[in-house]
Structure 1
Amino acid sequence: MSNGPGDGSAVQSVDRALTILKLLARDGELGVSEMAAVLGVHRSTAFRLVATLESHDLVEQDSDRGRYRLGVGLVRLAGATSARLDLVRESRVVTPALARTVGETVNVAVLSGREALYVDQVAGPSALQLHNWVGQRIPLHATSNGKVLLAYAPAALCDEVVAAGLPGLATRTVTDPGLLRAELAEVRRRGYAAAVDELEDGLSAVAAPVRGADGSVVASLSASGPTFRMPEKAIPAVAEQVMTAADEVSARMGWFGSTV
């Protein structure tokens, strides 16, 4: 991490920008001169700060009076946070039972850029040395959760993932773009994805989509364990249990339609 001479001023700018957001949350609307007075800075400095916030839709200007208020960007950020918290809360009603039934670790992941971000995990009774996946980002092409998220994402994302390269991470990682696209089509057809010895040798996983109230796929739910306990021949049976659990979470998220 850089500790150059400019770092202090950058941190100070961030602090001032956050202070502006807090002021607008408290007062509703403010002009640039008012912000400058509270911050104790020149008007031009306050204007640069608010202009940067405006470029990210975090504040917006009243066209008639020239005063600023909080923008829709904050609503989007708050909505994303709320949705993620709802997902974890609702999935936790379902995932412990799935973990007990399959005896393995259950994870919930969401799409984050070109990666899968793990947001929750429940250990099954067979998990001995548990690896904590929460907060980790995993390649989409090499995991069951990632394949589910990629299968239901816009086609442009698959193009980006392929263009960025499909590195081989384990013995059976899918590194051929044509094979990956064919597998994603199969995921959409059968309703689940599997990965055996793809992220790492000796690890198997099965995942199914979790849908939001509008029917879009908002997350992936998986069961994973060592390949000797979850060999390829056991995948279909585990997949049925994972899909049932994912449908239950989807229902709790407001989805009551048919995925067929």
Structure 2
Amino acid sequence: MSASSGTGDETTGSVQSVDRALTILELLAADGELGVTQIAGLLGVHKSTASRLLATLEAHGLAEQLPDRGRYQLGVGLLRLAGSTRVRLDIVRESRPIARALAADTGETVNLVILSGTETLYLDQVEGPSALQIHHWVGRRNPLHATANGRVLLAHASRAEQDAIIAAISDDRRRLPALTARTVTSAEALRAALVEVRHRGYDVAVDELEIGLTAVAAPVRGADGEVIGSLSVSGPGFRLTTDRLDDTVRAVVVAAGAVSRRMGFSGTVTMTAV
């Protein structure tokens, strides 16, 4: 057998295993509880195959065995996954009217962003009436260190998470990727910037991701006070000039606070003097 055909067989087998595992979850969702023999029969596989698939699902918390009967049911890990999806859907829904008002007020593009691994992930976007060339950000990922949204999210992560992310995106000389001449490329400088961002309650990025692009971002908090996202206004530097930044910062901070309250946050939104 050739190497290429062997790789194909392995890929086919892996896809089949994933398909069977997902089918098990669907069966458990429909029936509530099932034994290994029942699952094997419904899948049309040997009992040992069903047992291995269930063991994998159980290891990830997606299925769990009932101790008194030996049958399986859906695991609590699915609640964690569903909860994450629900939070994303909720924050988009709750932020949309505020984002529209902010876009109309500033004339610029408003983005809603979350932390995803070592990058930002753009969940929603509302274009302002002044937008000439629209950046389609939804679904896009950007570097944390080179964006106002990214630094807002990273500034409110735990120190351990900050350390892990900075280590992951730094080279062996602790340098960060430069996207423009204005990008922060020193890990130490980034750490200092994160302290400032957390203290003042917002961040501003000018020409750091792209030359000519300015962005202002502020944190969105959940009911427990933890930062769950970032709301930003971005636009060309010739419109978001220095004399407009103060008003834009205030508008973004107020809007992010309004989204936070819609997400259940009852604390005080703070911002140092602009």
Fold in common (TM above 0.5)? yes
Q: Percent identity?
A: 62
1:211, 1:253 within 8 Å by CA — same for their partners in 2? Answer: yes
Q: How far off is 1:233 after superposition?
A: 4.6
1:18 to 22, 40, 47: 22
2:257, 2:269 within 8 Å by CA — same for their partners in 1? Answer: no
Tell me the matched-pair count.
259
Secondary structure at the aligned position of 1:117 is classed as strand
Cα–Cα, structure 1 residues 185 and 92, in superposed 2: closer, same or farther, change >3 Å?
A: same
Write out aligned runs for 1:182-193 (5 A).
182-193=192-203
Write out aligned runs for 1:204-243 (5 A).
204-243=214-253
Write out aligned runs for 1:45-124 (5 A).
45-124=49-128
Secondary structure at the aligned position of 1:93 is classed as helix
Q: Which residue identity lines up with residue 100 of structure 1 in the other structure?
A: A
Secondary structure at the aligned position of 2:13 is classed as helix
Paired with 1:108 and 1:223, the residues of 2 have a C-alpha distance of 9
Q: Which residue identity lines up with residue 49 of structure 1 in the other structure?
A: L
Secondary structure at the aligned position of 1:21 is classed as helix
Paired with 1:124 and 1:51, the residues of 2 have a C-alpha distance of 51
Secondary structure at the aligned position of 1:46 is classed as helix
Which whole-Å deviations, capped at 9, do the CAs of 1:142-169 have from their partners, x for residues lacking one?
Answer: 1011000000011112212321211111
Secondary structure at the aligned position of 1:218 is classed as strand
Which whole-Å deviations, capped at 9, do the CAs of 1:170-197 have from their partners, x for residues lacking one?
Answer: 1211111221111111111111011111
Q: How far off is 1:21 after superposition?
A: 0.3
Q: Which residue identity lines up with residue 43 of structure 1 in the other structure?
A: K
TM-score normalised over the length of structure 1: 0.96
1:196, 1:232 within 8 Å by CA — same for their partners in 2? Answer: no
- The alignment yields a C-alpha RMSD, in angstroms, of 1.3
Paired with 1:197 and 1:157, the residues of 2 have a C-alpha distance of 26
Secondary structure at the aligned position of 1:215 is classed as coil
Specify every segment of 5 or more residues in structure 1 that has no aligned partner in the other structure, as ranges: none
Which whole-Å deviations, capped at 9, do the CAs of 1:83-113 have from their partners, x for residues lacking one?
Answer: 1100000000100110011111000001111
1:197, 1:203 within 8 Å by CA — same for their partners in 2? Answer: yes
TM-score normalised over the length of structure 2: 0.91
Greater shift in the superposed pair: 60-69 or 201-210: 60-69
Paired with 2:157 and 2:245, the residues of 1 have a C-alpha distance of 24
Specify every segment of 5 or more residues in structure 2 that has no aligned partner in the other structure, as ranges: 171-175
Paired with 1:215 and 1:52, the residues of 2 have a C-alpha distance of 35
Q: How far off is 1:10 after superposition?
A: 1.5
Q: How far off is 1:232 after superposition?
A: 4.1
Q: Does structure 1 residue 250 correspond to structure 2 residue 260?
A: yes
Greater shift in the superposed pair: 21-30 or 234-243: 234-243
Paired with 1:216 and 1:169, the residues of 2 have a C-alpha distance of 30
Which whole-Å deviations, capped at 9, do the CAs of 1:186-210 have from their partners, x for residues lacking one?
Answer: 1111110111111111111000000
Q: How far off is 1:5 after superposition?
A: 2.4
Secondary structure at the aligned position of 1:92 is classed as helix
Cα–Cα, structure 1 residues 232 and 176, in superposed 2: closer, same or farther, change >3 Å?
A: farther
Q: Does structure 1 residue 44 correspond to structure 2 residue 48?
A: yes
1:171, 1:200 within 8 Å by CA — same for their partners in 2? Answer: no
Secondary structure at the aligned position of 1:171 is classed as coil
